[in-house]
Structure formats: structure tokens, C-alpha cells
Homo-oligomer: A and B are copies of this chain.
Amino acid sequence: MSVAEADRLEGKTCVVVGGGGFLGAQLTPKLVALGAKVRVFGRTRYFARPLYGAHWTSGTLDDVEKLVAVLSGADIVFHFAGASSPAGAEANRISDLSTNVGGSVALMDLCRHSGVGRIVFASSGGTIYGDAGLPPFSETTLPRPISTYGINKLGVEHYLRLYNHLYGMRNVSLRMANPFGPYQHGTKQQGAISVFTRLMLEDGVIRIWGDGTATRDYLYGGDAADAMIAAALYDGEAEVFNIGSGVGRTLNEVVASLETVLGVTARVEYLPKRAFDVAASILDCRLAETELGWRASCDWNAALALTCDWIRQDVAAERAGR
């Protein structure tokens, strides 16, 4: 994506739904910097600074009146709402279905009636493919999700395609690998890198389900945000993109890298494997490169260092009774 292309967001109204957390904090400053008018809608605003220059509204996908107001006159919607953790989704399948899939369909209807041209959806490359076979997985791989979280993300993707087909929307789903980076607290069992970093800084015990050889594709938050902007500006026909580093790393490798970056030794406890965790997930991201002109570019160790710095500050701020 060239600078000239990104300029096409100038003056556009972008709504970041479910934007109060990690992904919203990564994306919003970039949208503001590109001259977009940004409205952020979410349950909780976890961060003030990254949302500077954007208009905040608090609410959930059930708050139809608020959503209608926020979506009024909007051009592009980024949809990150309804994220639950994989373990949480497994424990409450039917409510997860209703909240995430049903809530997303309701959002699509509101967007359609507001004249929103495109929804860019944060889907999950890490869970949709499931036990699809040997990675890397491409967008033409037959998805075989083995978790409620993955099934429901895939369901939302299908509805986004349906709305393209029936109503001429230009929705795009980004199957994101495991994202990490600043603004991921590491306190809610979401994001292995952040959780491990926080535990190592607090001298806690890292709990790994399985033997630590499970492979994941880790995506730096800044790269993820760049992919979302490229998707917002995309002119082609593709509707689904893998967004990842294309590199597989085991949990044990992640721990080793963090030991190097933080200069501390991790304490690790290995627990029995969970059935809904996939063994290996690596994304083939060539379609995003050819169609979106995007590829993950942040160096692994640099990305880890930035992440660790942020969590260190977060831990310090907490200790200071922020």
C-alpha cells in the first residue's frame, strides 16, 4: 500500500466497533494520522492515549440506538466486537453464538441501512483452520475448526460474504494470526506473548497446555493495523485474507525469545493439552501480499522488545497504584 493510497482515507468516516481494547488501540492512531474521522465504539475504553483524536461511545452490539447514531454517515466499519476468549466461548457455546454471530448479523443490518460500504472484520486465522491438516494454511484450505470460537468466527465470515452477495457490500474478513503487541494487557488469558511476559516480569509461573511444541503464527499489532487499513482501501474481489507472519513458532521458542529480551529465566509448568487447542497453525499470506500489497514487516525481536517495554510500564503503573 503506497502513501498515496492510504491518503484515500482522508476525510472518510471510520467506525471502530469493539475498539476499546488492543486492536482498537493499534488501529485508531493510524486512522487518525491518515486524516480519517474516527469514531470508536466499545464496551470499555481501556486506553485513553491511543484513542486521542477519535470520538468515543461506550456500548455493546445490543445498544441499537447508540449504534445507529455512531454508524450514521459512516463509510467504513472495522468490526472487532464480541471477542471472547476461546476458553470462554467453549464454556458458553449458545450465548457465544448469539452474541458473536447474531450480534454481527445485527451489526451488518445496521451498517447496510446506514449506507456503510464495507465492514473489515477481525476474524481468526489461528482457530478457523483447526485440524485442517499440515500448515501453512491458505484461504483455499478447507476450514475444520475444532473450537466454538473458530466456528463462530467462520460463521460471521459467511454472513459477511452473504451481505456482499445480496446487498452489494464490500465486506472483507481478515483471518488474523495470533496478534500481540503494546496494549495487550496479558491479564485475561488472551495472547500468549503478553501473558508470558507479564508472568515473567512478576516472577509468576507460566502455564502451558501441552508440551510447548504447539506452533503458532504470531502477528505484531502494528502489522495487523496496517493490514486492516489496506483492507479498507482494497479495490479487488477477494473477500477473505490470511494475515500473519507466515512463520511458525512453538510456545517453547516464544518463552526462549522472551528470556533473551527480558534477561530473566522463565518458570514453566506444563499442563495436559486442551482438546480445543490446535496443534499447529501457520498462515500462508501470499494472497494479502499480491492483493492488498501487505506483508508483516516488523522484526520478531524488535516486536517482542516493544511489547515487553509496554507491559513493563503497565506493570509499573499498576504497582504505583495508577
Contacts and interface: CB of A to CB of B under 8 A. Distances in A.
Contacts of A142: 140, 142
A154 interface: yes
Given A97-B97, A97-B102, A105-B97, A144 B131 contact: no
B151 A155 contact: yes
A48 B162 CA distance: 40
A317 interface: no
Quickly give the copy total for this chain.
2
A37 to B, nearest CB: 30
The SS class assigned to the A binding surface is helix
A319 to B, nearest CB: 40
B140 A162 contact: no
Interface string A90-102: 0001100110011
A29 to B, nearest CB: 34
Given A98-B102, A102-B94, A102-B98, A145 B166 contact: no
A267 interface: no
A158 B145 contact: yes
A164 B158 CA distance: 23
Nearest to A93: B105
Interface in A3-43: none
Interface in A144-167: 144-148, 151, 154-155, 158-159, 161-162, 165-166
A275 interface: yes
Given A94-B105, A105-B93, A148 B162 contact: yes
A interface, size bucket = 20 to 34
A144 B276 CA distance: 25
A276 B166 contact: yes
A106 interface: yes
A99 to B, nearest CB: 11
A158 B151 contact: yes
Nearest to A275: B166
Contact of A146 (B97, B98, B145, B162): B162
A97 B155 CA distance: 10
* A-B pairs with lowest CB-CB distance, top 9: A151-B158, A146-B165, A94-B102, A166-B275, A155-B155, A93-B105, A97-B102, A94-B105, A142-B142
